[in-house]
Structure 1
Amino acid sequence: MTPQASRPLRTADVARESGYSVQQVRDLERLGVIPPAARGANGYRSYGSVHVRALRAYRGLAAAAGPVVARGLLAEALTGSLADAAAAIGAVHVRLAADRDEALRAQAALLAIQDEPPDVDGGTPARGTPEAATPGDRARAGAADPTADVLTITQLAAALGVRTSTLRFWEQEGLVLPERVTSLRARQYGPAAVREARIVTALRGSGYGIPAVRDVVTSLRRLPGADEGVARARQLLDRRLDQIATRTVALLRAGADLADLLDPPNS
């Protein structure tokens, strides 16, 4: 049920109440985020409380799911049923929960990598020294022979749960480099490369783009003994979890505004 405003609101009034600028209010009306304003005899726009509620709901939805999704949700809420709108909001909650679970799994994977015992020199196994591979590296790498120190691209892809084409793409982007390419162009990955591949997989699976992941890998290669790369990756995941929490709170606030929009008090 659409609420009736107690008094007509000017564009400036709606902007002040919603936190948007006057131009943004007009732009969002043009995009269909809010219902068209009534026009007076003088041609001026006349808004009501429904427009303020819609804009507040849009602000929260845009922060939680992005502006494109938010516009679709508002359009559905204004023209569809309460059940449809509730289902759409629920779907956003599910996506955020899935993002959080993915980040937590990636965080757990990084913790496991960081907790693995170092090599005999006290540092991360270096490239070109397969004898420094830890049992954890070999077991998690999924090699057919548990005593093997070097993996083929097929073995590494199977262990990580990705396609071999994905590993080749990561190689082109400088993220995961084989330690050796044979004369037959067969790629071989030692312990250090496997470690990097596991970090890249964790971050990419959690939604990070190539530039951010490349920054982590660069840190790992620059200061391998200090395990800087794993620490940097964990910082990125901590930041992502904070962002997901912020988006979730924004969605909760948007849900309250949307509920008032669809079923206003005293309606």
Structure 2
Amino acid sequence: MCGSRRVRLRTVDVAREAGYSVQQVRDLERLGVIPRAARSGNGYRSYTPVHVRALRAYRGLAGAAGPVAARQLMAQLHTKTPAAAASAVNAVHVRLARDREEAVRAQQALRAIQTEAGTGDGEQDGDAMTITELSGALGVRPSALRFWEREGLIASERVTSLRARRYGLPAIRAARIVVALRGAGYGIPAVRDIMHSLHRLGGLEEAEDLLRRRLDQIAMKTVALLRAGSDLAAVIAADQDMTMS
């Protein structure tokens, strides 16, 4: 890595190698995505191959977590210990894995709804959950469940003298689908339309297609993060070398 730091590159060289414009390289340096370039006596920027790898790592992170989160993470990596930096990157993997798991569960819930529509089978009272149990299972706030209920996305049953919310399996399954759709970026009006049409054949097919696309998006994000892996490791190692030198 020390030899890499001795190689000096112009802004145009870095832009060409990383697939960015010259202005983008300067902007990303200003935002802290890549380390500050050295300056020559005449003021020209001087980069190294580590800067190229940092830009490639940023591209992969942006594909996995979005540009804003990627910029924040890259800026943080330059100030963290190797263990903390690796943990921050691993957190992106964990979020993607959780998103995939929730989308798969939503698919399973949708298939259960399709089965119920064909058989008319009811649910057992013992399968119900409280609002605290359901929010914990879905990883959302209880206030989100209350809001979705007000918006007509899910329906609870109030069975106690205190009218505490209680969710049966149909509501639990609907909530899983809402979580997946909201995670995919769909607004409340779009989710409401989908949920209201679930018991029509066209609505079921639409929801199934959306969840399939959601899983495809998560897979693409995961691949982008995996591609960035070696570049991220190189950036973390270079930052450690700079700290120790």
User: 1:117 deviation in Å?
Assistant: 5.0
SS, match of residue 175 in structure 1: coil
Q: Which has the larger radius of gyration?
A: 1
Counterpart in the other structure of 1:149: none
1:32-67 deviation line (CA, Å, top 9, x unaligned): 111111222222222111111111111111211223
Which of residues 114, 123, 135 in structure 2 aligns to 1:138? Answer: 123
SS, match of residue 43 in structure 2: coil
Counterpart in the other structure of 1:123: none
SS, match of residue 33 in structure 2: coil
Task: Give structure 2 stretches of 5+ with no counterpart.
Answer: 136-140, 157-162
Label 1:161 to 1:259 Cα distance change in 2 as closer, same or farther (>3 A): closer
SS, match of residue 5 in structure 2: coil
Q: Which structure: greater helix fraction?
A: 2
Q: Is the 8 A contact 1:11 1:46 kept in 2?
A: yes
Task: Give structure 1 stretches of 5+ with no counterpart.
Answer: 120-133, 145-154, 179-185
User: 1:21 deviation in Å?
Assistant: 1.6
Counterpart in the other structure of 1:204: 178
- C-alpha distance in 2, partners of 1:50/1:216? 47
SS, match of residue 51 in structure 1: helix
Counterpart in the other structure of 2:17: 17
Instruction: Compute the TM-score of the two structures, normalised by the length of structure 2.
Output: 0.75
User: 1:116 deviation in Å?
Assistant: 2.3
- C-alpha distance in 1, partners of 2:24/2:145? 44
- C-alpha distance in 1, partners of 2:87/2:144? 35
Which of residues 220, 240, 243 in structure 1 aligns to 2:217? Answer: 243
The percent identity for this pair of structures is: 57
Residue 162 of structure 2 corresponds to residue 161 of structure 1: no
- C-alpha distance in 1, partners of 2:44/2:143? 59
SS, match of residue 77 in structure 2: helix
Counterpart in the other structure of 2:42: 42
Counterpart in the other structure of 1:213: 191
Residue 206 of structure 2 corresponds to residue 232 of structure 1: yes
Q: Is the 8 A contact 2:53 2:231 kept in 1?
A: yes
Q: Is the 8 A contact 2:56 2:231 kept in 1?
A: yes
Counterpart in the other structure of 1:33: 33
Residue 24 of structure 2 corresponds to residue 4 of structure 1: no
User: 1:174 deviation in Å?
Assistant: 4.5
SS, match of residue 29 in structure 2: helix
Q: Is the 8 A contact 1:103 1:240 kept in 2?
A: yes
Residue 76 of structure 2 corresponds to residue 67 of structure 1: no
Q: Is the 8 A contact 1:199 1:230 kept in 2?
A: no
Counterpart in the other structure of 2:87: 87
Residue 228 of structure 2 corresponds to residue 254 of structure 1: yes
Counterpart in the other structure of 1:129: none
Q: Is the 8 A contact 2:31 2:75 kept in 1?
A: no
User: 1:204 deviation in Å?
Assistant: 2.2
Counterpart in the other structure of 2:138: none
Query: Which residue identity is paired with 2:58?
Result: Y
- C-alpha distance in 2, partners of 1:212/1:86? 37
Q: Is the 8 A contact 1:216 1:233 kept in 2?
A: yes
User: 1:159 deviation in Å?
Assistant: 11
User: 1:75 deviation in Å?
Assistant: 2.8
SS, match of residue 79 in structure 1: coil
1:213-237 deviation line (CA, Å, top 9, x unaligned): 12313543xxx452x2222111111
- C-alpha distance in 2, partners of 1:74/1:253? 16
Q: Is the 8 A contact 1:61 1:250 kept in 2?
A: yes
Q: Is the 8 A contact 1:199 1:233 kept in 2?
A: no
RMSD value, Cα: 3.5
Query: Which residue identity is paired with 1:56?
Result: R
- C-alpha distance in 2, partners of 1:98/1:260? 27
User: 1:111 deviation in Å?
Assistant: 0.9
User: 1:110 deviation in Å?
Assistant: 0.8
